[in-house]
């Protein structure tokens, strides 16, 4: 496979280069979405009609383009979308803000039922703020992704400032400046929630950061931890399953290298039309395993794709059920088909034309500028070994966007090294919730830092599973994790109210 | 006086409109320097030769133009000046950083002898970092002040990020990443030091913010407090003195309104040439009283101008010594002359051509964009009553710079309202030192917030007097204030070292 000759391109640039493979990938990671080159931007100047039962009102806030410079251009206004639900709220009651991440905010709101579940008992207003340059919140309309001159304004610090300005304005308009604000976010949104509490403690009294890998920068977390964790998920389900997948890559490469090999791969992968590169098949498998590990939820769910409960186990059952002598590639294909075709309705797969239903491709820009999270595959992982070569990465960013990454900026701006020592003396009121099934968990905070900066870790949880609607099938550990979250947030609000009375 | 018809212009725009009056005003406030329209920028691409005995080495750091966007332009590099003294330092020992404010960093270094005094006992390295767009640290060379397109990059958040990036790089180059960094600043530099600790607790373990009016924004501190405090200083010295000054404004206006009045004012004020406006005389007096209150130091000093110990008392002695029947204007002139001519060598005063020896005029831009600090004169002050009219102010900024102020941005970005409740739960290790003689003290933190966010307040101290070199004449309260500062900083370092060993 070419991945061994330029492995970092393959691996890290799971981010963007080899993107756009899986036909049905409405299925993109929330933290590392793949790019969809050339996908049309859905700039909708007017609100979409809310779906029936979508319990939010859509609003648009006139937001500043650039909070941190004062050039004439920086004062340009764009319309930032946010969703609001005030049905349980009364004046002075809490405001729960979801700090939107890299996609359409409606999608995150639909997948963060936890806030709707808990709003009544807190009498809380819910506000989901869309991140600039995603969904409808396009500072330059259809031109937003045109060049680095426009994209330059897409980054986390501007997003945090957007949140602060919007929340302040909202509270003022509600004449409810005293309402305590708690921020919530999952994945990159969880990073933003945690950072928001650190940088804007005067705006938010606390943050629940679910599956927020704020330590996946520089060399704070081992670079191989992500793929090692994916691999461990499969190994825990079945050692054979892990070995089959691990063996499939070389087999796939050998298959494609033969005369007529790509046609054979196409047949094996039931592609709608013959693929042009073996990478397409490789990426298709790769994505299925990675994203399934992330959403290895304990109940049937449809975050990225419709999947059964504990889908990693289901994939491994498929692999293990194959008769002796079946190829690794055919087994891996069958397992990955669970991800792409759980409904069983897909007649064929279009590996080389992905869609981007949730508008996630701006992440590629962020990954090429500030969000430099090196990931490698160790020899122990079920993926082909692969280093991270910074130069190759930065050259690629330069070619694609005309900018050089700033690989140390996030840790300069937000910290990360020796985080326990820093935060125990300079911060409070953050919950880092993680499930160890989620490969991103390794880059998050997994131990309590202080009495009020706490880690809620579940062994069987996956990517921000706590943020999903409660269901009757929820296991006890998940019910307990959410109960603790509610209890802690109640205490923050009590402390805040007590402080006010002083 | 015209000040009654457009009083806010007079008062708040002590900032910039009525600026440039006092000939010898090498004498500009560190927080509210007056603008010197058209003054030539001293862009010196190469280091100035250090003065003899100036105990710092001058360095230049390649700094990013814009930390918060990723456009191609934002990655432009400029050379940021910093001063370094490592004579007492050894590897791993503390690094004391002065977060430079709105002027030539050499000037601040020369007036912050405190750090040189305490460096040996801490074995500390001293680093004074110049603020972008001041001194030699001009991002666009001689064009830096050309337009809002260039000036737009002059603001506090960019400055804080500069400090973070520079400190990180410096520690890395020293291979001394474990060295604890403490930040120090006076006046606006003190605001930056406090904000730096709040925003970058992973870079600085604590901050000594001397005379830092971080609460002089929005309506957190009464707008009249600054001029009320100036007036109180004079009233405390002598009630007659206060009344004479209070009476001088109307007298001056009446004098100028007569036939040949401006010529008479010119004679009275011993101007080198006839003045064109009575404002020039008014501003000249005004500045003398305001700046003398700020630097009402207990010892002879030369921060803004050479002055005797407790110069407010000296001014009032001059006023009180006048024979019965002398005009208020002549007395006020004589008092102000102490400020402009303590040496007694000035033969005449040039009220309408000020110099800007310390390169402070960038403050005018900052005041018109982010640093909106409304100041008014109440009926009780010794200055003419004057409101603050936001519209008038913003119109003026628009005319002068083509930008609108963002009057609520500082409190959105850094907080301020209910600061005790916020910081007691989300911050630590800040000393707010203030002297109540300093009119800026009213906008600072004057009460302890927590065990480690403390206010050191002296009744007789003036504008960052604690930062001056110790002298044999220092009063006990000043010696004690500095002793407490040292003791607290020692504890921060001890705590940090203890944390490291955990």
B149, A72: Cβ pair inside 8 Å?
yes
- In this structure, the dihedral spanned by the alpha carbons of residues B215, B221, B226 and B227, taken in order and rounded to 10 degrees, is 160
- Phi-psi label, residue B120: left if phi above 0, alpha if psi -120 to 50, beta otherwise: alpha
Distance (Å) from the alpha carbon of B315 to chain A's nearest alpha carbon: 41
Give CA–CA dist B280/B297, Å, rounded.
27
The per-residue pLDDT for A3 is: 28
Minimum distance, in Å, between the CA of residue B452 and any CA atom of chain A: 10
Total residue length of chain A: 502
Whole-number Å distance between alpha carbons of A128 and A66: 21
Low-confidence ranges of chain B (pLDDT < 70): 1-52
Q: What pLDDT score was predicted for residue B474?
A: 97
* Chain B residues within 8 A of A72 when measuring between CB atoms: 148-149, 152, 402-403
List CB contacts (< 8 A) between A417 and chain B: 202
- pLDDT > 90? residue A51: no
Convert the pLDDT of each residue in A233-250 to its tens digit: 999 999 999 999 999 999
**Which candidate in A8, A29, A137, A187 is catalytic?**
A187
Residue from B69, B71, B132 whose CB has the most chain A CBs within 10 Å, to mutate: B69
Query: Residue A72 and residue B165: Cβ atoms within 8 Å?
Result: no
Q: Which residues of B touch A69 (CB under 8 A)?
A: 66, 68-69, 152-153, 155, 158
Looking at the predicted structure, is the pLDDT value of residue A33 above 60?
Answer: no
Phi, psi dihedrals of residue A271, rounded to the nearest 5°: -75, 150
Shortest distance, CA B170 to any CA of chain A (angstroms): 13
* Per-residue confidence (pLDDT) for residue B233, from 0 to 100: 98
Contacts of B148 in chain A (CB under 8 A): 70-72
**Mutation for A interface: B67, B68, B397, most A CBs within 10 A:** B68
- Provide the 8-state DSSP code for B470: P
E strand map for A293-365: 301-302, 306-307
pLDDT at A27: 28
Q: Which of B69, B414, B422 is closest, CB to CB, to A153?
A: B69
Report the residue of chain A nearest B398, measured CA to CA.
Answer: A72
Alpha carbons B451 and B481: distance in angstroms, whole number:
17
CB-count exposure of residue A14 (10 Å: 0-12, 13-18, 19+): buried
Contacts of A201 in chain B (CB under 8 A): 415, 422-423, 425-427
Average pLDDT (A409-426) is: 97
Contact B71 A152 (CB under 8 A): yes
Per-residue DSSP letter, A182: E
The token duo for B291 is: 């700046």
| Largest CA-CA distance found in chain B, in angstroms, rounded | 80
Q: Please give the C-alpha separations between residue B70 and each of A391, A401, A402, B67, B155, in angstroms, as whole numbers.
A: 19, 10, 10, 8, 17
Question: Against a cut of 0.80, is the pTM above it?
Answer: yes
Encode pLDDT of A124-179 as tens digits: 999 999 999 999 999 999 999 999 999 999 999 999 999 999 999 999 999 999 99
Instruction: Provide CB contacts within 8 A for B365, sequence distance 6+.
Output: B133, B145, B151, B154, B401
Give residue-wise pLDDT tens across range B345-387. Answer: 999 999 998 778 888 989 999 999 999 999 999 999 999 999 9
Instruction: Note whether A69 contacts B72, CB cutoff 8 Å.
Output: no
Distance CA A167, CA B194 (A): 24
- CB count, 10 Å around CB of B52? 5
- Choice among A131, A358, A463, A464 that is catalytic: A463
CA–CA distance, A183 with A178 (Å, rounded to integer):
15
Instruction: Name the minimum distance, in Å, from the CA of A144 to any CA of chain B.
Output: 13
Total residue length of chain B: 502
Contact assignment for B165 to A495 by CB distance below 8 Å:
no
- Tracing tokens 């206004």 back to the chain, one arrives at A77
Mutate to test the interface with A, among B77, B132, B425 (most CBs of A within 10 A): B425
Number of CB atoms found within 10 A of residue A58's CB: 19
Please provide the DSSP assignment of B67-85 as one string: SS--STGGG-EEEEEEEEE
pLDDT at B354: 76
**Contact yes or no for B41/B154 (Cβ under 8 A):** no
What are the chain B neighbours of A155 within 8 Å (beta carbons)?
A: 68-70
State the Cα–Cα distance between residues A45 and A136, nearest whole angstrom. Answer: 7
Res A359: pLDDT: 87
Which of B152, B202, B500 is the closest to A71 by Cβ? Answer: B152
Distance CA A329, CA A267 (A): 12
| Nearest-by-Cβ selection for A74 from B75, B152, B202 | B152
CB within 8 Å: A168 and B71: no
Measured in degrees and rounded to the nearest 5, phi and psi for residue A147 equal -160, 170
* pLDDT score of A20: 27
Please tell me what DSSP assigns to residue B418: B
Per-residue pLDDT band for A287 (boundaries 50, 70, 90) equals: very high
Q: Give the mean pLDDT of A307-333.
A: 97
Share of chain A above pLDDT 90, in %: 86
Is B152–A500 a contact, with Cβ atoms under 8 angstroms apart?
no
Q: How far is B274 from chain A (nearest CA, A)?
A: 39
Where exactly are the structural domains of chain B? Answer: 3-48+234-350
Instruction: State the ipTM, two decimals.
Output: 0.91
CB-CB: which of A151, A428, A502 is closest to B425?
Answer: A428
Please answer whether residues A382 and A388 qualify as being in contact, where contact means their C-beta atoms are separated by less than 8 angstroms.
Answer: no
As given in the structure block, the two tokens for residue A68 are: 């941190």
Judged by CB atoms closer than 8 Å, whether chains meet at B425 and A421 is answered as no
CATH placement of domain A3-48+234-350: 1.20.120.980
CB A445, CB A475: distance < 8 Å:
no
Contact state of B164 with A412 under an 8 Å Cβ cutoff? yes
pLDDT value of residue A52? 53
Beta strands in B154-219 (DSSP E): 181-186, 206-210
Judge contact between B441 and B418, C-beta under 8 A.
no
Q: Using alpha carbons, list the distances in angstroms from residue A457 to A115, A460, B127.
A: 19, 9, 42
Chain A residue at shortest CA distance from B498: A421
CA pair distance A407, A217, nearest whole angstrom:
8
Return the structure tokens found at B76: 């432009």
Backbone angles phi, psi at B208, to 5 degrees: -105, 105
């Amino acid at each position: 496979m070419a991945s061994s000759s330029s492995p970092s391109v393959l691996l890290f640039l799971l981010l963007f280069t080899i993107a756009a493979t899986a036909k049905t990938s409405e299925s993109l990671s929330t933290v590392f979405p793949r790019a969809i080159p050339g996908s049309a931007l859905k700039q909708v100047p007017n609100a979409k009609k809310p779906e029936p039962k979508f319990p939010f009102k859509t609003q648009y806030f006139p937001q500043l383009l650039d909070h941190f410079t004062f050039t004439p251009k920086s004062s340009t206004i764009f319309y930032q979308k946010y969703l609001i639900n005030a049905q349980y709220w009364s004046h002075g009651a809490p405001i729960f803000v979801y700090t939107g991440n890299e996609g359409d905010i409606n999608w995150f709101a639909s997948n963060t039922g936890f806030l709707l579940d808990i709003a009544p008992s807190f009498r809380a207003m819910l506000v989901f703020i869309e991140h600039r340059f995603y969904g409808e919140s396009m500072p330059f309309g259809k031109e937003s992704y045109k060049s680095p001159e426009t994209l330059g304004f897409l980054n986390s610090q501007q997003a945090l400032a957007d949140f602060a300005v919007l929340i302040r304005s909202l509270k003022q308009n509600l004449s409810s400046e005293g309402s305590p604000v708690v921020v919530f976010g999952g994945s990159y949104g969880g990073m933003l929630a945690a950072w928001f509490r650190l940088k804007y403690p005067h705006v938010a009294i606390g943050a629940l950061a679910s599956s927020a890998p704020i330590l996946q920068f520089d060399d704070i977390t081992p670079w191989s931890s992500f793929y090692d964790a994916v691999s461990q998920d499969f190994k825990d389900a079945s050692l054979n399953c892990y070995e089959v997948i691990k063996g499939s890559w070389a087999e796939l490469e050998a298959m494609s290298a033969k005369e007529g090999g790509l046609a054979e791969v196409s047949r094996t992968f039931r592609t709608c039309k013959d693929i042009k590169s073996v990478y397409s098949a490789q990426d298709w498998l790769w994505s299925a395993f990675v994203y399934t590990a992330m959403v290895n939820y304990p109940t049937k769910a449809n975050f990225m794709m419709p999947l059964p409960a504990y889908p990693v186990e289901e994939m491994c059952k498929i692999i293990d059920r194959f008769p002796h002598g079946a190829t690794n590639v055919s087994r891996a294909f069958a397992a990955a088909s669970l991800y792409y075709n759980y409904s069983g309705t897909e007649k064929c797969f279009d590996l080389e034309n992905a869609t981007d239903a949730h508008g996630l491709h701006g992440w590629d820009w962020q990954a090429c500028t500030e969000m430099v999270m090196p990931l490698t595959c160790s020899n122990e992982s079920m993926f082909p070994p692969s280093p991270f070569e910074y130069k190759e990465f930065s050259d690629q960013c330069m070619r694609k966007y005309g900018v050089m990454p700033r690989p140390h900026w996030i840790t300069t701006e937000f910290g990360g090294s020796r985080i326990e020592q820093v935060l125990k003396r300079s911060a409070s009121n953050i919950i880092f919730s993680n499930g160890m099934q989620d490969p991103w968990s390794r880059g998050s905070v997994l131990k309590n830092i202080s009495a009020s900066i706490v880690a809620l870790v579940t062994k069987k949880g996956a990517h921000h599973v706590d943020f999903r609607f409660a269901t009757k099938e929820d296991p006890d550990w998940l019910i307990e994790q959410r109960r603790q979250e509610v209890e802690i947030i109640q205490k923050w609000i009590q402390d805040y109210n007590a402080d006010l009375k002083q």
